Amino acid sequence: MHLYSGPLSLFAAKARIALEEKGLAHELTQVEWSLKNRYEPHHPEVAHLNPKGEVPVLVDGDVVVYDSTLICEYLEERNPTPALFPTDHATRARCRQQEAAADEVWFPHIWTLIEARVYPGGDPESAAAKAACSALASYWTQFDQELGKADYYCGDFSVADIGSFIFTNAAASFGAPLPESCERMRAWRDRVAARPAVEKITNDLNTAALAAISA
Ligand SMILES: N[C@@H](CCC(=O)N[C@@H](CS)C(=O)NCC(=O)O)C(=O)O
């Protein structure tokens, strides 16, 4: 298998963690990214394989899958163990819903913070950045309550934890950390961070972030 990733791509990090958790051998291509040009020009293979021009893209023989959510689902069906999705339909739906919420409800606010804090011309004190921090704070409180006493969001570790962790971790770097009041979520974050697969990919993201800052 071959994964096209991006050194700072949070979506690609989700796919990378799933591959590592399942212990699946793969080659990795990190496409170019810079503060100035972002992903332009797109990597030619990514442009060819994904009409959206985005990473991650997984190539497995003749099979091409783009989109982190679909890649995680493909990997689960290809290699069901260790499982990254719950088995019963209701918990599986809850898992998928949280993974989608992290991508589509949390991430837009994190993107607002990235634009405000990382890219030239952004204003970390803007009304939009403040609104993003306050929206994320309410999602953290909600997640903390939903987690209850469970170690992981759906009981066992799943893709809901992968996506939620990646975006929670990024949000903390961009001004929306977990408050002390979210004790259960903070313990969950530490538990997820300590998993070898997660630690490996988080270290790669941190190294890439440092390189981008000092470039
Ligand atoms: N929904 C997609 C989102 C993927 C995405 O937004 N990828 C970004 C990097 S994090 C990208 O490749 N952007 C290319 C561009 O902006 O041109 C997924 O889950 O994989």
The residue type at 86: P
Joined tokens for residue 55: 């990473």
pLDDT at 214 over 90: no
What predicted TM-score, i.e. pTM, was given to this entire model? Answer: 0.97
Joined tokens for residue 212: 């981008």
Q: Count up the domains in the chain and report the number.
A: 2
pLDDT at 153: 98
Q: Is the CB of 53 under 6 A from ligand 1?
A: yes
Secondary structure, 3-state, 52-116: CCCCCEEEECCEEEECHHHHHHHHHHHCCCCCCCCCCHHHHHHHHHHHHHHHHHHHHHHHHHHHH
Q: What CATH number does residue 46 fall under?
A: 3.40.30.10
Domain boundary among 78, 100, 131: 78
Domain boundary among 24, 46, 78: 78
Only one residue has tokens 């170690």, namely 151
Same domain, 116 and 210: yes
What is the mean predicted confidence (pLDDT) over 184-191? 98
Axis-axis angle for helices 127-147, 107-117 (nearest 10): 140
Same domain, 102 and 183: yes
pLDDT at 114 over 80: yes
Same domain, 48 and 95: no
- What is the DSSP annotation of 124-168? TTSHHHHHHHHHHHHHHHHHHHHHTT-SBTBBB--HHHHHHHHHH
Same domain, 72 and 94: no
Say if 28 falls within a structural domain.
Answer: yes
Joined tokens for residue 90: 């209701």
Say if 32 falls within a structural domain.
Answer: yes
- Per-residue pLDDT tens digits for 13-41: 999 999 999 999 999 999 999 888 999 99
Say if 129 falls within a structural domain.
Answer: yes
Domain boundary among 41, 57, 78: 78
H or E segment to which residue 4 belongs: strand 2-5
Q: Is the CB of 68 under 6 A from ligand 1?
A: yes
Say if 84 falls within a structural domain.
Answer: no
**Which atom, in ligand 1's list, is nearest to the CA of 10?**
10
- Per-residue pLDDT tens digits for 74-112: 999 999 999 999 999 999 999 999 999 999 999 999 999
pLDDT at 185 over 90: yes
- How many angstroms does the Cα of residue 206 sit away from the middle of ligand 1? 19
Same domain, 110 and 52: no
Cα distance between residue 129 and residue 110, in whole Å? 9
The domain containing residue 9 runs over which residues?
2-78
pLDDT at 213 over 80: no
Q: Is the CB of 122 under 6 A from ligand 1?
A: no
Name 86's Cβ contacts closer than 8 Å, sequence gap at least 6. Answer: 92, 94, 95, 154, 155, 156, 158
Say if 83 falls within a structural domain.
Answer: no
pLDDT at 162 over 90: yes
